[in-house]
């Protein structure tokens, strides 16, 4: 080791992942009840430490897979948290990420293994360390992103109705949207494929199901298309 490096104070480098989901109850956050010290028995984000043979993105993918059993989830780096006293057990610097997960794809056995539970976004319990600050920053980022990118579809089932889509955006943004205007705007983008199937869980008449056309969106982006809700 270079002598200059050996004279520096060593730190632990961790990562924490804020995982959002969505169902009929609204926007949700996935938390674990810690079965280890420090703060054993308290609620926290899922996290871990960086290993020698991986970069931060690989570590975040590993942590996500350990908890959910899923791969290829939407994952975005948020920011670094480095206050000297942020961890009660030592000097730990953490890189936070946020992820979007379809709750109908979840592996319930994996969640049970880690004592994981979904909480409605307005019913989040007290969290350890600075995890609540991370959640607040992630929610603010999600709200900005969903206005200019179609990342909201990462939270919906593969097939969804327009009312479900509107409910998702209302849950993320925390506001009520005009039904007619929202429908007109989202359909005018021509990014949804209307299916012959209907969801009849809400009424006898039912509502047509749609799918997001990602290939078309990627092609339009290359042509200068701008997504805006």
The domain boundary, picked from 147, 165, 182, lies at 147
Is position 229 within any domain?
no
Dump pLDDT digits (tens) for 18-71. 999 999 999 999 999 999 889 999 999 999 999 999 999 999 999 999 999 998
The torsion region of residue 40 among left (phi > 0), alpha (psi -120 to 50) and beta comes to beta
Dump pLDDT digits (tens) for 205-221. 789 999 999 999 999 99
**167 and 124 in one domain?**
no
Dump pLDDT digits (tens) for 67-84. 999 988 999 999 999 999
**142 and 165 in one domain?**
no
Q: What is the pLDDT of residue 5?
A: 80
**21 and 120 in one domain?**
yes
Dump pLDDT digits (tens) for 75-112. 999 999 999 999 888 899 999 999 999 998 888 898 99
**78 and 186 in one domain?**
no
Q: Fill in the DSSP letter of residue 215.
A: H
**90 and 73 in one domain?**
yes
Q: What is the pLDDT of residue 1?
A: 57
Q: Which two tokens stand for residue 57?
A: 């993105």
**199 and 116 in one domain?**
no
Is position 203 within any domain?
yes
**133 and 104 in one domain?**
yes
The range of the structural domain enclosing residue 216 comes to 156-222
Q: What is the pLDDT of residue 201?
A: 78
Backbone angles phi, psi at 193, to 5 degrees: -100, 120
**185 and 97 in one domain?**
no
Is position 55 within any domain?
yes
List all residues 6 or more positions away from 46 whose beta carbon is below 8 Å from its beta carbon: 16, 17, 19, 30, 31, 32, 63, 64, 66, 67, 114, 116
**118 and 178 in one domain?**
no
| 28, β-bridge pairs | 21, 120
Q: Is the Cβ–Cβ distance between 135 and 124 less than 8 Å?
A: yes
Is position 10 within any domain?
yes
In CATH, what number is assigned to the domain containing residue 214? 1.10.10.10
**214 and 102 in one domain?**
no
Count of structural domains within the chain: 2
**137 and 60 in one domain?**
yes
Is position 141 within any domain?
yes
The domain boundary, picked from 105, 121, 147, lies at 147
**184 and 96 in one domain?**
no
In CATH, what number is assigned to the domain containing residue 11? 3.90.79.10
Q: How many Cβ atoms are within 10 Å of 79's Cβ, its own excluded?
A: 14
The domain boundary, picked from 99, 118, 147, lies at 147
Q: Which of 43, 45, 38, 44 is nearest to 60 (CA)?
A: 45
């Amino acid at each position: 080791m270079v002598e200059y490096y050996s004279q520096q104070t060593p730190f632990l480098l961790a990562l924490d992942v804020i995982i959002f989901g969505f169902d009929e109850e609204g926007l949700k956050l996935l938390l674990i009840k810690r079965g280890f010290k420090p703060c054993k028995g308290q609620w926290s984000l899922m996290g871990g430490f960086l290993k020698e043979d991986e970069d931060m993105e690989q570590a975040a993918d590993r942590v996500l897979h350990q908890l959910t059993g899923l791969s290829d989830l939407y994952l975005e780096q948020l920011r670094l948290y480095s206050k000297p006293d942020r961890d009660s057990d030592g000097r730990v610097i953490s890189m936070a990420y946020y992820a979007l997960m379809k709750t109908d794809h979840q592996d319930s056995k994996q969640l049970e293994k880690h004592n994981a539970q979904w909480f409605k976004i307005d019913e989040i319990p007290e969290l350890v360390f600075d995890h609540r600050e991370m959640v607040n920053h992630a929610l603010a980022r999600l709200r900005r992103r969903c206005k200019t990118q179609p990342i909201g579809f990462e939270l919906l089932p593969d097939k969804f109705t327009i009312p479900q889509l509107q409910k998702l955006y209302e849950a993320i943004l925390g506001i009520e949207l005009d039904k007619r205007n929202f429908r007109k705007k989202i359909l005018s983008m021509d990014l949804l494929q209307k299916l012959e199937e209907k969801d009849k869980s809400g009424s006898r008449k039912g509502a047509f199901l749609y799918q997001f056309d990602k290939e078309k969106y990627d092609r339009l982006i290359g042509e200068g298309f701008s997504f805006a809700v």
